[in-house]
Each structure stands twice: as structure tokens, then as C-alpha cells.
Amino acid sequence: MVLGIISGFILPDKLIKWQTEKQAKDYFINNDVNLPFQTFTTYNYENLIAQAAPRVKKYLDEKIVSNIERTVREKYSYRFDASINIPGSNQNIVNYLEETGLLKELNLPANSASSKLEEITTSQNLVNAKNEFSKAYMNHAPGRPVRLPAEFEPIQSVFVSFPIYYPGQWKTHAELIKAISNEAKAIVLVPNEYWQKAIMLYFEQKAITLVNVYFAHVKTDDVWTRDYGPTTVTDNNGNRSFIWNTYYEEYTSYAKQSADAACELGRYFDIPVYRVPLVLEGGNIITDGEGTFIMFNSVLFNNPDYDQSKLNKVMQDYYGCKNLILLPSLKEELTGHIDMVVKFIDNNTLMVIESDKSYKWHKDFENIAKVLSNTKSPEGNNYKIKRLQMPKTDNESVNFWSYINSLTLNGSVIIPVFGVSEDNRAIDTYRKAMPNHKIIAIDFSNYPVGSVHCQTKEMH
């Protein structure tokens, strides 16, 4: 899922000013964004722009795109260096924290940081792998009836990939992990012990307890854990399996480490892993736990060899789907993920996004709400629909801020807020819709697309 789309690519009045290579490059580089640049090629930059705003492509040429790539690499050189040459010492970590301004945020001198890192021990908060290898079955279903529990059922742990390459987002994720750890185990994915030390130091300086916070040394390229993390299904005897989805998003490059993270986590928990023969992101799956699944039909666009019949069969074999509700995707919306638009509150109740009438997807939202309100729940009654207004935005805005993108976690609901006037109304809507839950709001205003749900993945 994309963390940010450059506003210069979206606003038509800016495009005409792209008359020189320098103007285009400067506009791109002066609008700070968070994307896994370490995985990008020249083609990916051009593809991302074309996907975000197809009408813009004619303004680009090879020279402009190549120079954008070169300039981004120079600006974010610390990110490239850290991702390619993973820090292997405390001093490497101190250098990174200093260069990115994180030490300044913590008001911590470099020599003090170095001393504190030396004192930190990682073993107490480390998840040790139970096996040397994962038990992985490639394109082979579990071979027995399975069930994907609903998000509103009890959850044991939540996976979160820490944004180590996005220093501006450490604060947000620290608050997210803090909220998770109050209800379940937070399992934080980092490449090695030195990155673990860095985050433990950050938490210590922020006075955030590490109780219920654990680390697994699993490499990832980006933070969208919902999309590539393992999906936990269970059989009739309570045995768990991980479903490993074939992860490749069309608007960015192939993030090979993220794509393999689900398989790698299998050996940590001694849980068998089954790779589904389907290009699919976890953000496009929601379920009631009783076999009803709701998805956007973007899954068919990404799998041209599938029709709905074949999709139904694979979803049944790997996820326990009995009833698949396939909704039309939002036109020109990059993610194609249902979790931006619809959320299961319980077996009989759905929350659906709502917008002003002038918004580009207003009719789509209304049609989705109408279709679902005329759809019967497993109990035989039509679903109850709760509407949740998104923040006001114009049709050219880079922000698709959705309060729907929340995580129900045992006795709490962790929701994103964006520092706008509509935040209080969204919190109140959740309180009324889910009165037995504690509502925890976390500022995700630095993320134009996707937030709490997109960056977490539960393990029942």
C-alpha cells in the first residue's frame, strides 16, 4: 500500500509548470514522502505516477524519471545504505539515529545513546525461532476444512513491521505498539538485534513500557504488514496454519523481503505455511469468522487467469470461505483494498464509509452500503449498516483518510485520527457502534493512504 502520493503529480495546474527536468525533480524532492525507495527502479517511478494519475504520464520522459530516481536516492541515501548494508554494530545504529534526526527528537547526545545501547539486552523481549526451517507447502491447500476467525474474536498477538527506514513515523508506530500491547502481544518485525536495540532505546526514552512487546528478527521492505503478513486459519481441532499470499502490488516494485515474511514467520511459531496461488493483499480480505468474506474485485484484475468460480474455490480451500461478496473496486483508487471502505463490527453489523456528495467516490460508497444492507447475514437477517463519515477533502487531494481502517483488538478498537475537525465525530460514532470497547485514537495524519489496519496483522 502506498504511504504517499506526490501532490505535484495529482494537481493539474502544477503539471504545466513541468517544462524542465529541474522543475519536475525539485517538485518531487521537495515534497517529502514515505515509500520503499530502496526497492524502486526507474520503471517503478514511472509506473507509480501513471497508476496514481494516468493523465500525467504524457508529461514525463525518460530523462525526467531517471533524474527523479537519482535525486531521491541522494536525498534518502541513509535509507538506501541502511537497507542494503544492515547495521551490524551499536555505532552503526547511533550514526543512523543521528543522521535521521531521531537522536535530536529524543534529546539524546550520541555518546549517551552509545552507552545506553551497550546496556540494552535483547533476549528478554526476543521471539526465538522454534525451527531452523519453515514447513512450507507451495501452492498446496491445507487439505482439511479451515476457518479464518473474525477480527472481533479473541486475538493472541499482532504483527507490526517497524518503520525503521521512515524516521518521521517512529513516533506513530511507538504509540500504535503501545496500544496493541495493552490488549495482546505486540510482535515487532525488525531485521536484527541492532535494530531491536534501536527501537528499545527509542521506547525507553519515550517512557513506553516493553511489557507485552516482543521482537522477531524478520526482514521486511516496508510497513504494510496487513498485506504480506501471515493470515492465521484454524481447523476443527484448533490447529493453526499460516496462509502465505503471493504478494506483489502493481504500483510499486517487487518487495522481495516483505513477500517472504509470512513464510519466514512459520518457523518462529512452528506453524505450517501454505502459499495460496493467488496475487492478493491481506487488506482486501475481511470476514465474519463464519465463512462470509467481503472483497473488492481488484483481486480479479490482478489475477487475469481467474474467474469468480475459480476464486471462490481457492478462497474456500485456503481460507474457509463459504460466501464471497465481491464488490466493484473504486475507480483509480490505488490499493483496491476493502479494509479502507468496509468493516465487520459483529456477525450482523457492518460499518461502511460515507463522504460528501461532491466526493469522487460518493456514489460508490452509497452503492456499497445499499448492496450490503440488502445482503443477509449468517443469521438470516439483512446486515445492519453503520455509516462513518470520512474527513472532507477535494477530489484532487492526495489524502484518502479512512476511519474505517481500524483494528478491533479484544476489548479495544484502535482507530486512526488525522488532526481534523471530523476526528471527534468519528470517535463518537465508534463509541455508539461498539459501546463495550475502549476507543483508542492514534494520529496517522502523516499517512495519506492506509493506517492502523493496514499496518497490523493479528494472530488468533
Q: Following CA atoms 176, 453, 256, 69 in sequence, which dihedral angle do they give, to the nearest 10 degrees?
A: -80
- Read off the DSSP letter of residue 37: G
Q: Check if the beta carbon of residue 188 is closer than 8 Å to that of residue 177.
A: yes
Q: What angle (nearest 5°) sits at the alpha carbon of residue 318, between those of residues 313 and 323? A: 50
Spatial neighbors of 136 by CB under 8 A, at least 6 apart, are 244, 263, 266, 272, 273, 274, 275
Spatial neighbors of 375 by CB under 8 A, at least 6 apart, are 325, 382, 383
Domains and CATH numbers, the chain: 7-75 (no CATH), 157-459 (3.75.10.10)
| Distance in angstroms (rounded) separating the CA atoms of residues 81 and 102 | 17
Q: What is the pLDDT along the chain (460 residues), one digit of tens a residue?
A: 333 333 333 333 343 344 444 444 444 444 455 678 888 888 888 877 776 666 777 777 888 888 888 888 888 898 899 999 999 999 999 999 999 999 999 999 999 999 999 999 999 999 999 999 999 999 899 999 999 999 999 999 999 999 999 999 999 999 999 999 999 999 999 999 999 999 999 999 999 999 999 999 999 999 999 999 999 999 999 999 999 998 877 667 788 999 999 999 999 999 999 999 999 999 999 999 999 999 999 999 999 999 999 999 999 999 999 999 999 999 988 889 999 999 999 999 999 999 999 999 999 999 999 999 999 998 899 999 999 999 999 888 878 999 999 999 999 999 999 999 999 999 999 999 999 999 999 999 999 889 999 999 999 9
Tell me, what's the pLDDT at 53? 63
Tell me, what's the pLDDT at 439? 98
Q: Check if the beta carbon of residue 423 is closer than 8 Å to that of residue 417.
A: yes
Q: Following CA atoms 331, 333, 339, 345 in sequence, which dihedral angle do they give, to the nearest 10 degrees?
A: -50
Tell me, what's the pLDDT at 19? 41
| Distance in angstroms (rounded) separating the CA atoms of residues 148 and 211 | 28
| Distance in angstroms (rounded) separating the CA atoms of residues 369 and 384 | 10
| Distance in angstroms (rounded) separating the CA atoms of residues 242 and 3 | 26
Q: Check if the beta carbon of residue 353 is closer than 8 Å to that of residue 364.
A: no
Entry pTM: 0.92
Cα distances (Å, whole numbers) of residue 449 to 82, 197, 362, 420? 25, 29, 17, 16
Q: Check if the beta carbon of residue 344 is closer than 8 Å to that of residue 151.
A: yes
Tell me, what's the pLDDT at 247? 86
Tell me, what's the pLDDT at 415? 98
Cα distances (Å, whole numbers) of residue 53 to 33, 113, 411? 17, 44, 40
Tell me, what's the pLDDT at 4? 35
Mark residue 282 as left, alpha or beta (left: phi above 0; alpha: psi -120 to 50; beta: remaining).
alpha
Tell me, what's the pLDDT at 46? 82
| Cell reading at 430 | 465508534
Q: Following CA atoms 283, 288, 292, 298 in sequence, which dihedral angle do they give, to the nearest 10 degrees?
A: -10
Tell me, what's the pLDDT at 28? 45
Q: In sequence order, what DSSP letters do the residues of 290-316 get, joined into one string?
A: SSEEEEETHHHHS-TT--HHHHHHHHH
Q: What angle (nearest 5°) sits at the alpha carbon of residue 221, between those of residues 440 and 340? A: 40
Helices 110-119 and 90-99 cross at an angle (nearest 10°) of 140
| Distance in angstroms (rounded) separating the CA atoms of residues 210 and 180 | 11
